[in-house]
Amino acid sequence: MSGFDLVPLSPTFGVEVRGVDLMDVTAERFFPILRALFEEHSALLFRDQNMTPGKHLEIAGLFGPIEDRKSDERKSGEAFRIPEVTNIGEDGSTSGEMDLHTLNLKANFLWHSDSTFMPTPALINMITAKVVPSTGGATELASTRAAWAGMPGDMKARVRGRGVRHRYSHSRAKISAELARLPMFHKWPDQHWNSVWTNPVNGREALYIASHAFAVDGYGEAEGEALLDELTAFCSRPRYVYSHDWSVGDVMIWDQRAVMHRGTPWPYGEPRKLASLCAGAGDSDGLPSIRMPRPPVDPE
């Protein structure tokens, strides 16, 4: 199909793509092939890349609009900067283990899909490793598409057709009440998405949940939380998980519609830096199909 070598990352999803320099990718050259591989395999790994920030932005932008969570915070004329997942401060020091910044990084150790709490959720995350610690700091991916296909019918029936509500501060509250009160976690109203996202290219279904999810339609608060925990535990069984130990220059792209992810701990005195870009989903990615209808307004 591509002339590239494809090496499976796990028995159920994901491939390492060998034989491509991402600096050579353009909208016309190689990207259509990579997009097809993305739809088929849900996660793509490219090793030993020397991708510039400009090319990072270009390739991520081919998938969809670049997500910008800080557009309301930047001063006039201030340029967009590629977000970094890092414990390195502006002065080069590392944040303490109990600093709010580090606690926010620890919230990423919960299984999640990015931006389910935003009006436009993410289609992809495209990450490249800049600084890696001596040990730990892996990123784990869990295929909610493979897990949904292997899930017992009675378990599926408990959530199929139901909406799930998502709130940014909910995931942060699991780590620290103080963290969850920060304004950055209250920028967007709760979002209400269908529990299953169908890929319009191949018709494959995936469970769409995250650590930001806090309620399931038709269930009480405690019952809904317990169901979300049960579904997350099923999707993160070893059969459906790939764990990636980063090397500098590695690049990963995964489908946020069909893959949850989480970070893993590392020695917090050691620096770690990943450059991370999300691109938003659009109509051609099946976004309209997961929007839940608004309930009718009762007449006064």
Each residue of 123-136: pLDDT tens digit? Answer: 999 999 999 999 99
Question: Would you state the pLDDT for residue 297?
Answer: 46
Taking domain 5-290, whether its CATH number is 3.60.130.10 is answered by: yes
The per-residue pLDDT for 90 is 84
> Any residues with CB less than 8 A from the CB of 269 and at least 6 apart, and which?
94
Query: Cα angle at 292 between 217 and 107, to 5 degrees?
Result: 65
The mean pLDDT of 167-177, rounded to a whole number, is 95
pLDDT reported for residue 92: 87
What percentage of the chain exceeds 90 in pLDDT?
Answer: 86
296 pLDDT higher than 80: no
pLDDT confidence band for 205 (50 / 70 / 90): very high
Q: Which of 32-41, 78-87, 143-152, 236-245 is predicted with the least confidence, judged by mean pLDDT?
A: 78-87
Average pLDDT of span 54-69: 97
Q: Where are the domains of the chain?
A: 5-290
Q: What is the dihedral of CA 264, 186, 279, 122, to 10 degrees?
A: 70
What was the pLDDT predicted at 2?
55
* pLDDT at res. 73: 87
Confidence (pTM): 0.94
pLDDT computed for residue 257 by the predictor:
98
Give dist(CA 25, CA 17) in Å, integer: 13
Sequence-separated contacts (24+) of 233-237 with Cβ below 8 Å: 234/147, 234/151, 234/155, 235/111, 235/142, 235/143, 235/144, 235/147, 235/148, 235/207, 235/209, 235/260, 236/111, 236/142, 236/260, 237/147
Q: What is the pLDDT of residues 114-125, one digit of tens each?
A: 999 999 999 999
Helix H or strand E segment including 171:
helix 168-173
pLDDT class for 101, splitting at 50, 70, 90? confident
Contact 15, 8 (CB under 8 A): yes
